[in-house]
Structure 1
C-alpha cells in the first residue's frame, strides 16, 4: 500500500494489524482520485472510517491543505499516526478517535465545513445514505464540495440522492465507488 501521486508519491504506508480494516487497493485508490480531479488547489478533506489514513494522506499529497481522519478503532488510530509520521508533515492532519456519527455532530456544532469527504465504511455496517443526508442537514459541505464513497455491492443507491448531483459510479469486483457533488440548490 502506497501513496499514488503528489508530494508524498511512492511513500509506503503501514497496514492495520488484524482483519478489522480493509484497505483500499492502490489500483482502486488511483482510479478514485483520477475521477475526483485528480489534484486539488487547497481545501479541507475529511476521511471517515480512515483505517490506515491512506485516503486522507493521498488527498493532502494531491493538494488539500488539511485532512481530518476519523476512526473508532485503537489499532487504526495507532496505524494512522504511524503513517502520518512517515509524511513528515503531521501539521496537515488531525486524527480523531471516535465513532463517525459522533464526529459528524461535533463538526456540525463547530460549524466546520469540508471541500471533500471520503468514506469507506465497513461493508457490514453501512449507514451511507443516512450519513449523506447528515452532511447536507448539518451543512458540512462547502459549495461545490465532493463526496467519495466506497461501499460493497449490496448497497443500492436511489436514482437521486437529495442534496447531491451524482458525478460517477464505478464498480471494482466486490466494491463500488460513488462520487457526488453538493448540488447548487443547497449552496447557501
Structure 2
C-alpha cells in the first residue's frame, strides 16, 4: 500500500496485520479520487469512519485537505493509523479515535462538525451504510459541496437517495462497488 498522489506520493503505508481490516487497494483508491473529480483539495475536513490503515484519509491529506478524523474499533488499526501518520509527519493534521462508528457519529454531532469528504468503508460483513447515511443527512454532517464515498461489496444494495443525499456516481471494480453521494439543495427536491 502506498500514497497515490499529492505531497506524499509514492510513500509506503503499513497494513493492519490479521483479517479484521480490508484495505482499499491502490487501484480502487486511485479510482475513488478520479470519480470524485478531485485530484487536489484547497483545505477542508474529512471523516474516515472505518479507517483501517488510514489509507483513504491519508490520501486526502496528501492531496491538500487540512485535517482528517480517523475512527476505527480495532486497537491494531488505531496503532497502524498512528504509525502511518507519524511516518509522514502529519499527526498534527489528524484526530484518531478508537470507537464504534455509530458512537463516533454521535460524538461528531455534539461537536457540530461538517465535513467536505466522508469515507464509509466498513468491513463487508458489517454493513450499516443506509443508517449512517441517514444520520449524515439528518444532522447535516456533510458540507454544502461535500461528498460521501461509500465502498461496499458488489452485492450490497443501497438507496439512490437518503433524505437530501443523492447518489451521484456508482462504479464497480470487481468485488468492490464505489458510490459517491452529494447533497441536493432543498430547491432541487
Q: Same fold (TM over 0.5)?
A: yes
Alignment of 1:26-105 (within 5 A): 26-36=26-36, 37-105=38-106
Aligned equivalents of 2:172, 2:41: Cα separation in 1: 24
Deviates more, 1:161-170 or 1:131-140: 161-170
- Cα distance per residue 1:26-83 (max 9 Å; x no partner): 0010010111112111100000110000000000100100000000100100110110
Partner of 2:10: 10
Partner of 2:22: 22
- Assess if the C-alpha contact under 8 Å between 2:137 and 2:162 holds in 1: no
- Assess if the C-alpha contact under 8 Å between 2:72 and 2:78 holds in 1: yes
Q: How many residues align?
A: 187
Q: Can you give the 5+ residue segments of structure 2 that lack an aligned partner in the other structure? A: none
Please state if 1:165 is matched with 2:166.
yes
Aligned equivalents of 1:28, 1:67: Cα separation in 2: 20
Displacement of 1:86 in angstroms is: 1.1
Aligned equivalents of 2:34, 2:64: Cα separation in 1: 13
- Assess if the C-alpha contact under 8 Å between 1:144 and 1:183 holds in 2: no
Displacement of 1:162 in angstroms is: 2.4
Displacement of 1:2 in angstroms is: 0.1
**TM-score w.r.t. structure 1 length?**
0.96
Partner of 2:112: 111
Displacement of 1:171 in angstroms is: 0.4
Please provide the CA RMSD for this pair.
Answer: 1.4
**SS at 1:179 equivalent:** strand
Aligned equivalents of 1:100, 1:112: Cα separation in 2: 15
Alignment of 1:146-161 (within 5 A): 146-161=147-162
- Assess if the C-alpha contact under 8 Å between 2:160 and 2:166 holds in 1: no
